[in-house]
Amino acid sequence: MKIATVKTGLASLAMLPGLVMAAPAVADKADNAFMMICTALVLFMTIPGIALFYGGLIRGKNVLSMLTQVTVTFALVCILWVVYGYSLAFW
């Protein structure tokens, strides 16, 4: 009698991990929106910061040129990431 109870108990314990398995991941629109907003805020913080940092390292008459160079470089990096980086990361 006692052996049958132990066997039944062990068999029921063997089936428990199936009950506590995680639910499949579901794409949540709020998570995607949060990540996109945070990315935009970081870009709005970083791009002018880099431009002003490099602008402070040069003479006053060349600041506008440096701001333009940083902006164009950022635009080119974005285009190159879309063309090459996205296909490498998600292909």
Residue 50 lies in a domain: yes
Question: Into how many domains does the chain fold?
Answer: 1
Q: Nearest Cα to 67, choosing from 81, 82, 50?
A: 50
DSSP string, the chain: -HHHHHHHHHHHHHHGGGTSPPPPP---HHHHHHHHHHHHHHHHHHHHHHHHHHHHTS-GGGHHHHHHHHHHHHHHHHHHIIIIIHHHHH-
Mean pLDDT by 10 residues, the chain (91 residues): 81 73 77 91 91 92 94 93 87 72
Return phi, psi of residue 26, to 5°.
Answer: -120, 130
In-domain check, residue 6: no
The predicted structure's pLDDT at residue 30: 87
Expressed as residue numbers, the domain containing 67 is 25-90
Residue-level pLDDT at 1:
67
Decide if 7 is inside a domain. no
